[in-house]
Structure 1
Amino acid sequence: MIGNSTRIGAQPGETIDRTRPLTFTFNGKTFSGYEGDTIASALAANGVQVFSRSMKFHAPRGIMTAGWVDPNLMVQLGDEPNVRAGHRLVRHGDAVTSLNVWPSLKYDVKAVNQIIGRFLAPGFYYKTFMKPQKLWPTYDKVLQQFVHAGKVDTNTPKVAKDKTYANPDVLVAGGGPAGMWSALAAADAGAKVMLVDEDTELGGHWLFTSGKSAERTELAERVRNHPNIEVHENSVVIARYDGNWFGVIVRYPDGSERLIKTRAQVLVVAAGLIERPYIFKGNDKPGVMLMTGARRLLNRYGVKPGNRAVVFTANEHGDEGIEELRAAGVEIAAVVDGRKGEFIREAHGKGKVERVELGDNRVIDADLLITSIGWTAPTSLLNMAGDKPVYDTTAARFFPADDLPEDVVATGGIAGDGTDEQLQAHAEATGKHAAAKAAEILSVWQSASPIASVREAGQQLAQQPKAEPVAPLPRNPHPEIYRSTTHGFVDYSEDVQSDDIFTAIGEGYSLTELAKRYTTTTMGPLQGKLEVINAVAVIAEATGRTMNETGTTVWRPPYAPTTLGALAGRNMDPVRYSPMQSWHEAHGAQPLVAGAWIRPEHYGNPEGEVRNVRENVGIIDVTPLGKLELKGKNVPDLLEFLYTNKWRKLPIGGVRYGVMCSEDGVVFDDGVTGHLGEDHYLMTTTSGGAASVWEVVEEVLQVEHPEWDVTCTPMTTSLASINVAGPKSRELLERISDVDFDPEAFPYMNVRRGTVAGVKDVVLWRIGFTGELSYELHVPAEYGLHVWETLLEVGQDLGIAPFGIEAQRILRLEKGHLIVGQDTDGLTQGFSAGLDWAIKLDKDDFRGLPELRWQKEDGPVSQLVAVQPVNGDELPVEAAQIIDDQTNILGRITSSRHSPSLGRSICLAQLRTDMAVPGTQLRILQPDGSIIIGRVCEELSHFDPEGVRGRV
């Protein structure tokens, strides 16, 4: 063990367990602590003063708040980056390291930035790294070395936590005294309450207030034991959305998190207050601390923050802290009273506080400078509810506006001041109001229910006492103290000083949001929680505006950093398999995740599979195709409205290709629909578009044309689908089916129903996505595997073999057939997709018709074309940009493969229309910077452009 212990005797309200010691390492050295210590408090107890280096200047930083919003206590914990050491409880065996220092925390070579600091003014990155453009790769590598964050280990196993749902009547955000009083009052009134507090224990400011330990313990026990209250400590409400829909993050000791999606009738915000720093020269040195930080260390963790202190106080909180410091053996060298106009000019010292220069020019020797000069209201949840806080000059802080939504209320320090008795009365009245308001809201919801028992419950709730208004809390006067006569740090996370903000204002960035972005103030890990009011005050001072005229920035969700694992939760996505999946697995298929489906990508040699389809016969499992059965006399009307082409004259037994567009004319989906019988159709969609198309169909039928006689039944998983393709496919099917496959009896783009492999009522249509003679079979799902295996058995002498998605992609690319979502994107309208022939603008109406008429009149901006590299051995990557000599982008490669049928590389591309002329030479930029020369082809089809093979 190492370290000079600053641990003092046991304190009445401390939250550490001295009977349970532990050890951990910091930068490779071993330290001791107790259960209940945070990483920061344990290190401070061992005499550690420097915990980190600042982002830009790499200046040493020490404890400021000793809590969640401390900007100086970000560390790496094992493989977990960016851990808040002032909040995370230390565990035995933890390995903690500093962030972004080299070679060590004590001797960091990047501290040279302090010497060149004058060249790192606000916006320097905008001005310095613009030109010459060719040096961007060098700039990027250098700047990466200054990224002030932890390291992510991609080999770390995922810790999956299930997302859960909760529906309390009242959600209380904040577990301080006001939050607990409010929760108890609401629960006593019969409401189901969820209480969420980001600290590891309930208590709020009572956790570090001497003399309040007994009251805190008793109140917390009442809350935890109340049957109507669900308590979540070490948790945070990260977001509030319309209708009081919340995200609640629950944190675990191992760093993992769980998301609770919560719907409540009423939100009670009891977030307390955050003490804000004082702006003066040297205010970032280790040894400069807020009184909340000093009191946390003393009363909660039994750690003496220093030996000889100068205290700058302007309120009772600071005054009380002075007495607690004295009682702990800290010498108070000077008390500076802001209420009398006194102030601090500068903190002196090399690497830490050694002397303090006062406003009256006195210089005091001290190793500790504590400030207590005002408060910031954490209004995040109120902002998310639409509140714009209002500044009160007398109280020197922002307060919630008077126009909060009826389902959002505030209590405690965020709402006002007062004695403990006044705060308790207000909190309890707020809790009762919240319970009554929740009952009112719930009664409205239930009264509208079609279920009689629920309606009766709503009527009973409506008879409960009405929610009474809550009288406001008083506001204690407080001096406006923000900045000394010297400049200092405003944002400790981003190394932004007050003179930087003055510079930004001088350069024209006078609006709060602009100054914020130009200087990056409030954009660091704390996101303004500690520094936002100081930033507003400096902007107001620099512009000559009042605080209310200047206005504050507001928080957007999420309020607190949230792990991606919590947002993702356990992988609960449904997985779908076709009835033939067991066969695919047994025969070495490479699995491909395609949305919810697991599909065979290939069986070992996709190019060999392509050749077999071209020469013999192959079968592919296309079960994931969306399939919708349509019945009713108005099905032709529906098809006319959905598709861009015409459908009224499609005869029974006919099949037609169709394209769907969104209202903006963007290609939405494509597929084929067959006319099976009188008023009976089967529609297929892309695999990825099945659910979306069904949703659109139902929207049309239920909202736009409820008068139409159409029934839509999804059949995607009810039918197993098999495509049989190749010159020998007709011969194969004739062996196992009673359908007449003669070309005249069963021509191209037709549908028949019959028996296949003994299975009755199989739907077969003759289509040609692969460009070969092919038939698509839709079989009742329970017989899918039987038909598949029968085809393979009967077709052995014909050279039959399965083929996967990759071979199908190559086959369709050889034919120039587009894939929606690959050869199109969210901006590709119909005439840009090479679908002119399928768009009939003389129709009365269809989705996207006005936009497509405009596109036709204006001419498409881009066009889908076939491209072949001049050197057939060169293969452009998909999404490669097509550029001119000045590197202007002309288009992109949408699909590219090596064609085994042609023995060369082939592509499809979206290309600027004026360049989409056959024979045009193109420059295709590769990721490595090399250029492939391509040529625009005459037609989209690379192979068999006349389509002879598919129509034999």
Structure 2
Amino acid sequence: MTQEQIALAGTGAMRLGRQEGEVIDRRRTITFRWNGKQQLAHPGDTIASALAAAGERVFSRSFKYHRPRGILTADHLDPGCQLQVGDEPNVRAAHRLVEADMDVRSQNTWPSLRFDVKAANGLVGRFLSAGFYYKTFIKPERLWPVYEKVLRQFVHAGSISPDTAHDYYDKRYAHPDVLVAGGGPAGMSAALAAARAGATVLLVDEQGALGGRLRWGGPAELHELHRLTAEIAAEPGIEVLTDSVVGGRFDDNWVAVVQRNLPNVVERLVKVRAKSFVVAPGLIERPYVFEGNDLPGVMLSTAARRLINLYAVKPGERAVVLTANPEGDGAVADLQRAGVDVAAVVDARHGTTVTRARGRSGVQSVELSDGRRIDADLLVTAVGWTAPTSLLNMSGDKPVYDPRSARFRPDPARLPDTVLATGRIVGDGSFSEIAAHGAAIGREAARRAAGIRARWQTQVPTRTPGEPVAEVPAKPVEIPDLTPAAHPELFRGHTHGFVDFSEDVSSKDLFTAVAEGYDSVELVKRYTTVTMGPGQGKLETVNAVAVVAEATGRTIAETGTTTWRPMYAPVTLGALAGRIFEPVRHSPMQAWHERQGAVPLVAGQWIRPEHYGDPAAEVRTVRNAVGIIDVTPIGKLDLRGPDVPELLNLLYVNKWNNLGVGRVRYGVMCAEDGVVLDDGVTGRLGEQHYLMSTTSSGAGTVWEWVENWLQTEHPDWQVHVTPVTTAYASINVAGPRSRELVGRLAEGVDLSPEAFGYMNVRTGTVAGVPDCVLWRIGFTGELSYEIHVPAAFGLHVWEALMSAGADLGVAPFGIEAQRILRLEKGHFIVGQDTDGLTQAYTAGLGSLVKLDKQDFIGKPELTWQAERGGYPLLVGLQPIDGRIVPAEASQIIAGGRIVGRITSSRMSPTLGRSICLGQVEAGLAKPGAVVTVRLIDGRNIPAAVTPQLAHVDPEGERQRV
């Protein structure tokens, strides 16, 4: 077959000749599969337009009754065009562009789309009325598992294989001055005007290209489209995101934008913080409710015009057009130009409407309210508009019904100053009037954004005094009026039809729900599930409100609307998760570690040295001479104010009122359930100045914890908290010769045991660097000094220590050696030797918990634990065979039961044998008790409980010298 023949075949049975505004590339033809059958398409086709060009009318089966469904809107909202593409379910085929070799299938149809066995549901439709799921499958309860199994077969969705490779999703942050939601004529004009006023603009549109209704209009509309598109492309201050949607607006214009189908990215969540937000979504054409309104061949006027003008597809052969507005009149002209035989134009403005459409797998005839019956395969309706006010509702607006225009309108008076609306959502008019309104709104949005930017500039603490602030025009921009055009109220004909095409909810179902007492539109929504399908009410809401109003005898205004909430459009879980933006942190000494061949360890957000080649040798260096370790990631909070002791008493389980200046105290924090949250030491540097340390992994959590209690429970306390974790480089100097090494570099600090004893803190100069904090603590179990140095001097002090201690045998040690050292000393690690159930007494902290304090976080639970007793305990363990190191998390068993677990285990270089910590039941925690440890290979070994947690120097003499 020649290229010309392939291209000709690719046009399909319903493909039209070239259209002025078409978006398909006729020079190329691609192939894809539809339910196993090969189809042809042009690049630029959507899946639905390619199939429609090939003569396909039925694309899916409905949710409840499995009725045949076809094209209704021909865009992202189309309820009848959700298909399976490869391993991706629920693809919106009237929006997704077709690609070569796509495997497209109908969803939840068996054995085929044409002959679907589940269509038998339609025969029992009277038993599936509103709320049937609340009335059936209730009793007997013993059959609930059977009901669930049966109902699961009717889930109307596609499928995904567990073997499918994970797609890549992304995340981004943006801070434009102005965000414009909607790329129609009003949105484009607003973006241009805002950018020309000096604002940075992000312009977002859900379609594949900008233009809105201009894209399927006539020559005049296409001319304006090309002009606006060219001007936007030439404007450097505007960033355009097409095939993207504004999903939700939150406080202070935090706006979620979902960007679709990027190269190598399925979806990207753009988190936008906009100074001004312009909402310009246009209008959504509303379906008409009548019998047979869901048959393939019944479509909206905008759908017919999209098919003809964008994709060069003939929507049908013989048409009836129900029109009540200029859009319907335009559809008549387009249909006639496309060669469709327009058998009748029914002008609802003169009182005639459609009563029903008849057919099996598509429209075959149309009955009118004047009694006529017309043979046709296409019924086009143009009966009114829905204003998609959801983004404005999320901003505080409550839409008001306007009976003159037969649609809900936003109320600008309810909007915050940073949110504006423009275009047809506000009112109707000529193109020039719509564009003028958009331009004025754009200039005003830029003016308001400039005011916010100027205010922010004056509040930046690093701003240079006298630095000029951008000028803000004081006079607001005059906004021209846009008045909605008059329109007849057309929602339902003289027969019942479908209101919600996604959920198979009919107007008759809504009448039934009202008759059963559900006369509130919010209750009707939940009872019938109307507006709760994939379209989320964009097509259905106004019709649902109108039918409920009719059923209750109220007006539409009195009935009100349902509530719009984020997200406006469906968002994948992958996009919400997105790419994890975890900052990679490392200390100022990282380059030195790398030069020394340190093996990197990912520890939360930090890259740390795990070891420098031989962890056992590093342990022996610390025990026998002196070693230094980079502990910069230790959390550090600077606390100042007269009420710091009160805060510490609240946070920690022990007492803090009598901590003297220059002293350090160990403390443990528990959550409200008494579970160990974090531990660390806090030192008092001055009368009202304290420095708190936390675990490396708990730094952020503890900071939030502290601020939460201060701001929500004790805002009256005078305490100022500053996180300073990254402001200091931290170095621990440990070993019997550590005093000698630190003494060679410290100035203004007396390091003698009498002047600077264990659990004390001093400030001074180290290696010529002033304002260093030194505290004498002993996580390794050896004499040691933890030095906190201003971060910029971290590498300098580290290298100075290495140089000054060369003759003392100084060497660096890593995290693995530190873990061994602390295990030898019996120091537990939060999150390693504790878990989400480990309360303070279980962690062996009974002597630390002061229940006689008036209050502290977790006290009620710990009081109960102490009174109850019998809780598990953290103990030291030594396998009888010292050559065996049980894996961490190995179970401790007794009598066929799990009675504990190994929490930490290593081979001790100091003792030459294996050592462990573990949690065991209270009855097995006595010193000398022998427990059974189940190894991962299934063997059982005995281990003895030690008299204390420490395996080395239990009296603590080495760290107190």
TM above 0.5, one fold? yes
> Secondary structure in 1 aligned to 2:380?
strand
- Structure 2: 5+ residue stretches without partners: 1-5, 745-750, 767-771, 875-885, 892-897, 907-912, 926-943, 957-961
In structure 2, the partner of 1:206 is: 214
Tell whether the 8 Å contact from 2:674 to 2:862 is kept in structure 1 after alignment.
no
Question: Which residue of 2 is the match for residue 182 of structure 1?
Answer: 190
- Residue by residue, what CA displacement relative to the aligned partner does 1:509-528 show, whole Å, maximum 9, x if unpaired? 43333322333222222221
Q: Which one of the candidate residues 30, 37, 51 is aligned to 1:22? A: 30
- Give CA deviations for 1:723-752 in whole Å, capped at 9, x if unaligned: x9xxxxx9999999999x999999997899
8 Å Cα contact 2:254/2:271 also seen in 1: yes
1:457 matched to which residue of 2?
Answer: 470
Question: Which residue number corresponds to residue 16 of structure 2?
Answer: 8
Aligned to 1:317: 327
Aligned residues: 887
Equivalences for residues 46-125 of structure 1 within 5 A: 46-125=54-133
The Cα of 1:352 is off from its aligned counterpart by 2.0
- Report the equivalent of 1:528: 537
Matched residue, 1:866: 872
Alpha-carbon spacing, 1:661–1:899, altered in 2? closer, same or farther (3 Å):
closer
SS in 2 for 1:213: helix
Deviations 1:686-706 (A, max 9, x none): 222213445677999999799
After superposition, residues 636-655 of structure 1 pair within 5 angstroms as 639-640=648-649, 642-650=651-659
Taking structure 1 as reference, are residues 732 and 268 closer, same or farther at Cα in structure 2, changes over 3 Å only?
Answer: closer
Q: Is the 8 A contact 1:186 1:431 kept in 2?
A: yes
- Determine the structure 2 residue equivalent to 1:517: 526
Q: 1:417 aligned to 413, 428, 436, which one?
A: 428
Shifted more, 336-345 versus 545-554: the winner is: 336-345
Cα shift at 1:275: 0.7
Structure-2 change in CA distance of 1:314 and 1:710 (3 Å): closer
**C-alpha distance in 1 between matches for 2:103 and 2:867:** 57
Shift of 1:25: 2.6
Contact 1:577 1:599 in 2 (8 A): no
Residue 251 of structure 2 corresponds to residue 242 of structure 1 = yes
Where 1:305 maps in the other structure, the secondary structure is: coil
Query: Secondary structure in 1 aligned to 2:523?
Result: helix
Instruction: Please point out which of 549, 566, 586 is paired with 1:557.
Output: 566
Q: Residues of 1 paired with 2:382 and 2:658: CA distance?
A: 83
- State the partner residue of 1:932: none
1:386 positional shift: 0.7
CA distance in 2, matches of 1:676, 1:489: 74
Alpha-carbon distance in structure 1 between the residues aligned to 2:214 and 2:868: 66
Q: Residue 364 of structure 2 is aligned with which of 345, 354, 358? A: 354
Cα distance change on mapping 1:192 and 1:332 into 2, 3 Å: same
* Match of residue 727 from structure 1: none
Question: In 1, are the aligned partners of 2:320 and 2:380 still within 8 Å (CA)?
Answer: yes
Normalising to structure 2: TM-score of the pair? Answer: 0.75
Aligned partner of 1:951 in structure 2 is 955
CA change 1:396–1:682 in 2 (3 A) is: closer
User: What is the distance in 2 between the residues matched to 1:74 and 1:243?
Assistant: 35
> What does 1:614-653 align with in structure 2 at a 5 Å threshold?
624-627=633-636, 639-640=648-649, 642-650=651-659
C-alpha separation in 2, matches of 1:598 and 1:297: 60
Structure 1: runs of 5+ lacking an equivalent: 725-729, 869-874, 881-891, 910-915, 920-940
**Contact residue 844 and residue 873 of structure 2 kept, 8 A:** no
CA contact (8 A) 1:377 1:397 kept: yes
Secondary structure of 1:19 counterpart: coil
Q: What SS does structure 2 have at the residue aligned with 1:332?
A: strand
Cα pair 1:240 1:246 within 8 Å, conserved: yes
**Equivalent-residue separation in structure 2 for 1:424 and 1:335 (angstroms):** 31
Where does residue 696 of structure 2 map in the other structure? 687
What is the match of residue 285 of structure 1? 295
- DSSP-derived class of the 2:278 partner: strand
Q: CA contact under 8 A between 1:13 and 1:300: conserved in structure 2? A: yes
> Which amino acid letter does the alignment assign opposite residue 413 of structure 1?
R
The Cα shift of 1:371 comes to 1.6
The alpha carbon displacement at 1:903 in A equals 12
CA contact (8 A) 1:773 1:951 kept: no
For 1:327 and 1:779, the matched residues in 2 are separated by 81
What is the letter of the counterpart of residue 60 of structure 1? Answer: P
* Residue 539 in structure 1 maps to residue 552 in structure 2: no
**Partners in 2 of 1:298 and 1:364 — Cα distance?**
23
Q: Distance in 1 between matches of 2:65 and 2:677?
A: 52
> Which residue number in structure 2 is paired with residue 656 of structure 1?
665
Cα distance in 2, alignment partners of residues 131 and 808 from structure 1: 62
Aligned with 2:401: secondary structure?
Answer: strand
CA distance in 1 between counterparts of 2:752 and 2:704 reads 38
Q: Displacement of 1:670 after TM fit? A: 2.6
What is the alpha-carbon distance in structure 1 between the residues aligned to residue 555 and residue 646 of structure 2? Answer: 64
- The CA deviation string for residues 6-56 of structure 1, in whole angstroms up to 9 with x for no partner, is 011122222223233333332333222223222211111111112222233
Q: TM-score, normalised by structure 1?
A: 0.75
Q: Greater CA deviation, 228-237 or 623-632?
A: 623-632
Q: Does 1:332 align with 2:336?
A: no
Shift of 1:66: 0.6
In structure 2, distance between residues paired with 1:696 and 1:256:
36
Going from structure 1 to structure 2, the CA distance change for 1:316 and 1:67 (only over 3 Å counts) comes to: same
Map of 2:894 onto structure 1: none
2:385 — aligned with what?
A: 375
> In structure 2, what is the Cα distance between the partners aligned to 1:809 and 1:25?
64
After TM superposition, give the deviation of residue 785 of structure 1 in Å.
11
User: What amino acid is aligned across from residue 56 of structure 1 in structure 2?
Assistant: K
Asked whether the equivalents of residues 406 and 489 of structure 2 are also in contact (C-alpha less than 8 Å), the reply is yes
Contact 2:61/2:109 (<8 A) preserved: yes
CA contact (8 A) 2:635 2:694 kept: yes
Q: CA offset at residue 110 of structure 1? A: 3.9
Specify whether residues 22 and 699 from structure 1 end up closer, same or farther in structure 2 by C-alpha distance, changes over 3 A only. Answer: closer
Q: Give secondary structure in 2 for the equivalent of 1:457.
A: coil
Change (3 A) 1:841 1:897: closer
Is it true that 1:669 corresponds to 2:678 in the alignment?
Answer: yes
Please state whether the residue corresponding to 2:33 is helix, strand or coil.
Answer: strand
1:443-491 CA-to-partner distances (Å, cap 9, x unmatched) read 5555667656654423xx245x4322433424323223235422x2222
Matches of 1:666 and 1:302 in 2, distance apart? 67
- Residues 710/139 of structure 1: CA separation in 2 closer, same or farther (3 Å cut): closer
Report matched runs for 1:847-866 at 5 Å: 849=855, 865-866=871-872
**What is the percentage of aligned positions where both structures have the same residue?**
46
Deviation at 1:148? 1.1
Query: Distance in 2 between the 1:904 and 1:663 partners?
Result: 29
Question: Residue 18 of structure 1: SS of its match in structure 2?
Answer: coil
**CA distance 1:786–1:354, shift in 2 (3 Å):** farther
Please say which of residues 380-389 and 654-663 is displaced more in the overlay.
654-663
Task: Report the residue type matching 1:357 in the other structure.
Answer: E
Asked if the contact 2:388–2:425 (Cα under 8 Å) also holds between the matched residues in 1, the reply is yes
- Write the distance in 2 (CA, Å) between the matches of 1:351 and 1:327: 27
Alpha carbons of structure 1 residues 492 and 805: separation in structure 2 relative to 1, 3 Å: farther
* Partner secondary structure for residue 35 of structure 1: coil
Given the superposition, is the C-alpha separation of residues 256 and 856 from structure 1 closer, same or farther in structure 2, using an over 3 Å criterion?
closer
Question: How big is each residue's C-alpha offset from its partner over 1:880-911, in whole Å with a ceiling of 9 and x where there is no partner?
Answer: 9xxxxxxxxxxx999886999999997589xx
| Pairwise CA distance, 1:592 | 6.2
Match of 1:344 among 326, 333, 354: 354
Distance 2:420 2:640 in 1: 53
Aligned residue number for residue 273 of structure 1: 283
Secondary structure at 2:525's aligned position in 1?
helix
Q: Which deviations, in whole Å up to 9, do the C-alpha atoms of 1:106-130 show, x marking residues without a partner?
A: 3444444434444444444455268
- Taking only aligned residues, the RMSD between alpha carbons, in angstroms, comes to 5.8
Return the alpha-carbon distance in structure 2 between the equivalents of residues 580 and 276 of structure 1. Answer: 62
> What amino acid is aligned across from residue 685 of structure 1 in structure 2?
T
Matched AA of 2:304: A
Cα 1:829/1:122, change in 2 over 3 Å:
farther
Query: How far did residue 345 of structure 1 move?
Result: 3.1
Q: Which of 339-348 and 116-125 deviates more? A: 116-125
Q: Residue 729 of structure 2 aligns with which residue?
A: 718
- How far does residue 773 in structure 1 lie from its aligned partner after superposition? 9.3
- Pick closer, same or farther for the CA change 1:263–1:657 going to 2, 3 Å: closer
Deviation string, structure 1 residues 649-706 (Cα, Å, up to 9, x no partner): 4468865331346899997533233579999976431222213445677999999799
